[in-house]
Amino acid sequence: MRILYRTGGILITVLSLISCDQQKQLVPPSPKSSVELSKFVGEIKAELIFVQGGEFLMGDYGEKYGPEHLPYDANQHSKPLHKVELTSYSISKFKTSNKQYQFYLAYNNLAGRNIDLKTRNGQRWREKNMTPDTPAHVDWYEAEKYCHWLSTITELPFSLPTEAQWEYAARSRGQFVIVPTNDGTIRIGEGDKSNVASEKDSKLYAKKMGTSLGLYSPLPGDLYPPNPLGIYDMAGNGWEWVKDWYDPDYYKYSSVKDPQGPEKPVFKDSNGNYTKVIRSQDFSGPRRGATIFRFDSDPANEGYLPGDKTVRCVVNSPKPVR
């Protein structure tokens, strides 16, 4: 079976090599044209939003600054509220798309995953990867390698965002905003006034793209308005990996200036795996995608596909990218 993706000026052919019960998706070599790469780099730079650095109070601010003066988060890991000072940086306005990630794989002659496409999970994985404008799904290590590759081809200090950078951008430079939408509220199913996706949106998009994903279908990042900084899709459409190792007590000892998270792995999940912080949400809705909620996940997604994990990169430069 052959699947075609068009990425910029490159037509990427994904060949499915069938061997017994397994099918391995390979991305074959692409023409390493300087014109094509230059166009890709230009598109990546054009999607960057400059975030002026500054000071903010990170964590659950509800009890002190919320309208009802009650905590937003029942978990203690989003506390205490603590001061953070960030240097200016730039962040992508979108989660990395399948089109962009497929370009990266093709350009570097990297193979895809070994997937048994006879299973329902295998079919869903293939369908999630065949819609070019929806987010790419990756584990933490794949996300980190992709951002590092961007730094190589652009000669800019790309990386995964820190948890502090993600929250600062989601809260429009640290404002007391609980949802990273255009106006800090969640409006679902209100026609032109809607600002987050619904199950209906996913079902309609799946039908439009000819997939069987239904309500599990990812959506294009620009389906609804961005937050006031111009950043899209921070309230859902896939968890976002950040740089930091997860520690439920980290806010108690976090550094003030440009915190990077714990220096080494700290917390293990129920399977005995150390975990990284994830932000945003797989689906939007009440209490989902909130700007101060913390979650964690095994960076390797051991034993299951990262079908709900996405990546958004930052540039750690105090000046806007030209």
Structural domain includes residue 320: no
> The domain spanning residue 37 has which CATH number?
3.90.1580.10
The pLDDT of residue 7 is above 60: no
CA distance 101 to 35: 18
Q: Which has more pLDDT, 153 or 2?
A: 153
Q: Which of 21-35, 203-217, 306-320 has the lowest mean pLDDT?
A: 21-35
The pLDDT of residue 17 is above 50: no
Structural domain includes residue 227: yes
Structural domain includes residue 120: yes
What is the crossing angle of helices 98-107 and 34-46, to 10°?
150
Structural domain includes residue 156: yes
pTM check: above 0.85: yes
CA distance 157 to 267: 28
What is the crossing angle of helices 34-46 and 140-154, to 10°?
110
CA-nearest of 94, 33, 36 to 311 is 94
The H-or-E segment that residue 200 falls in is helix 199-209
**What pLDDT is attached to residue 83?**
98
Q: What is the pLDDT of residues 81-127, one digit of tens each?
A: 999 999 999 999 999 999 999 999 999 999 888 888 889 999 999 99
The residue with tokens 């599990």 is 216
Phi-psi region of 255 (alpha: psi -120 to 50; beta: other; left: phi over 0): beta
Which three-class secondary structure state does DSSP give residue 192?
A: helix
DSSP category for residue 18: E
**What pLDDT is attached to residue 240?**
98
Structural domain includes residue 132: yes
CA distance 253 to 160: 22
Structural domain includes residue 322: no
pLDDT band at residue 9 using 50, 70 and 90 as cut-offs: very low
Per the CB < 8 A criterion, the answer to whether 61 and 292 are in contact is yes
The pLDDT of residue 172 is above 80: yes
pLDDT band at residue 74 using 50, 70 and 90 as cut-offs: very high
**What pLDDT is attached to residue 111?**
86
CA-nearest of 214, 233, 241 to 306 is 241
Q: What is the pLDDT of residues 206-237, one digit of tens each?
A: 999 999 999 999 999 999 999 999 999 999 99
Structural domain includes residue 179: yes
**What pLDDT is attached to residue 276?**
98
Compute the CA torsion angle 314, 316, 320, 322 (nearest 10 deg).
-80
Q: Which domain holds residue 92?
A: 2-315
**What pLDDT is attached to residue 11?**
40
pLDDT band at residue 8 using 50, 70 and 90 as cut-offs: very low
Percent pLDDT > 70 in the chain is 89
Q: What is the pLDDT of residues 233-255, one digit of tens each?
A: 999 999 999 999 999 999 999 99
**What pLDDT is attached to residue 19?**
33
CA-nearest of 239, 230, 206, 210 to 220 is 206
CA-nearest of 19, 87, 76, 13 to 256 is 87
Q: How confident is the prediction for the chain on average, in pLDDT?
A: 89
Per the CB < 8 A criterion, the answer to whether 244 and 261 are in contact is yes
**What pLDDT is attached to residue 284?**
57
State both tokens at 56.
């903010």
Number of domains composing the chain: 1
Amino acid at 72: Y
Structural domain includes residue 182: yes
**Torsion over CA: 268, 271, 273, 276 (sign):** negative
Q: Which has more pLDDT, 10 or 229?
A: 229
State both tokens at 241.
């990996």
**What pLDDT is attached to residue 28?**
43
**What pLDDT is attached to residue 285?**
55
